[in-house]
Amino acid sequence: MNKILVTGGCGYIGSHTIIDLIENGFDVISVDDNSRSTTYALSAIERLTGKLIKNYTIDLKDFDSTHTIFTDNKDITGIIHFAAFKAVGESCEFPINYYENNLFSLINLLKCVKEFKVPYFVFSSSCTVYGNPDSIPVTEKFPVKKAESPYGSTKQMAEIILQDFSKTESATSVLLRYFNPVGAHPSILLGEIPLGKPMNLVPVITQTAIGKLPEMFVCGSDYPTRDGSCIRDYIHVSDIAHAHTLALEYLIKKKNKTNCDVFNLGTGDGVTVLEAIQMFEQVSGVKLKYKIGPRRSGDVIAIYANNNLAVNELGWEIKYGLKEMMDTAWKWELFLDNKFK
């Protein structure tokens, strides 16, 4: 049984991926300092899988602490690296925090990959590396353009680091550039738990609908899109999670074409912010209180994926549409409201 280290394992996508890995026969350990997550995910994972996950509560920016994970677990065969700060707007306000956290943690992990000869590495990248693309849908062959935010810059730099690392080391890597993960586990026992004010659209929608937020703002209505709001490619978190398992299996089976392959993860359908709001209102029966506000720094106008490569090479299948994304997100918000009252 392959032992996989998931960094950021208590986080939104990390926790869903741990479940998917376990369901597909992997042994999993986690590292998460819980600075932007809670330990609730670990109990939910145990309830859903029957497995108690070992979590190292350490900061990956500290090399000595990071090193102890590998001395304790010399049989780690793969790493899925999620742990990072991820809010576009916040990164524009505190850029140094983002460069320090997102890059130092990766470098420390790669030092351990080299020393302990860990063969497989899957990196959580982002469509932000494409900047404002010249056309859509975006394929993996599109050029990486100037990032619109420090967050996007950290993903670009991390990809360069991994590509250079792969030229000199035996470890093989996959970079997964995913678009906008939303929704919750179909069991409604696990989902996104934003700490403080949420930064992403769907948690803002659900928190407004339930009354945690008095109202929400649509950031910009003057973009050159069909209704003036930004266009994004929303993808269910469980579909994203399974792609990470498939990426590991792809590397283990030596199907990779290079030492550092790249895949887009999105549905291939662009949805405007206003269309996402309309779908939520349709699914939930709740009329949202929202206002049109100014554009948000760092936002690209429109982006969605061409996912043919992931579908054909990884065998990835998308199971959930926008309706299921909004339905599970709303049910999860109701669950949270009841559980943590």
What are 148-178's pLDDT values in tens digits? 899 999 999 999 999 999 999 999 999 999 9
Angle at 192 between CA 149 and CA 240, to 5 degrees: 75
Instruction: For residue 338, name the pLDDT band (cuts at 50, 70, 90).
Output: confident
> Which whole number is the average pLDDT over 177-195?
95
The candidate with the shortest Cα–Cα distance to 7, out of 28, 30, 27, is: 30
**Averaged over 195-205, what is the pLDDT?**
89
Three-class SS of residue 73? coil
pLDDT at 1: 76
- Is the confidence at residue 220, as pLDDT, over 60? yes
Angle of helix 63-72 relative to helix 95-116, nearest 10 degrees?
30
User: What local confidence, expressed as pLDDT, does residue 267 receive?
Assistant: 97
- Write the DSSP symbol of residue 233: -
Question: Could you tell me if 127 and 177 are in contact, meaning their C-beta atoms sit under 8 angstroms apart?
Answer: yes
Amino acid occupying residue 249: E
Question: Is the distance from CB of 78 to CB of 4 less than 8 angstroms?
Answer: yes
- Least trusted range by pLDDT, from 115-119, 148-152, 274-278: 148-152
Is 330 in contact with 280 (CB distance < 8 Å)?
Answer: yes
151 is catalytic: yes
Strand bridging mode 27-31 / 54-56: parallel
- Poorest-pLDDT segment among 43-47, 97-101, 200-204: 200-204
User: Hey, what amino acid is at 230?
Assistant: C
Hunting for tokens 């919750």 — which residue is that?
184
**Average pLDDT for the chain:** 96
Confidence of residue 341 (pLDDT cuts 50, 70, 90): low
Sequence length of the chain is 341
- Nearest-angstrom CA–CA distance, 331 and 191: 10
Q: Is the pLDDT of residue 131 over 90?
A: no
Better-predicted residue by pLDDT, 252 or 132: 252
What number is the average pLDDT over the span 85-114? 96
Q: Which of 151, 178, 234, 320 is catalytic?
A: 151
Cα distance between residue 149 and residue 119, in whole Å? 32
Pairing type for strands 180-182 and 234-236 reads parallel
The predicted structure's pLDDT at residue 148? 87
Average pLDDT over residues 69-97: 95
- Tell me: cis bond preceding 137? Omega within 30 of 0 counts: yes
| pLDDT of 340 higher than 70 | no
> What residue spans of the chain are helical by DSSP H?
12-23, 40-49, 63-72, 88-93, 95-116, 150-168, 201-210, 237-252, 273-284, 308-309, 322-339
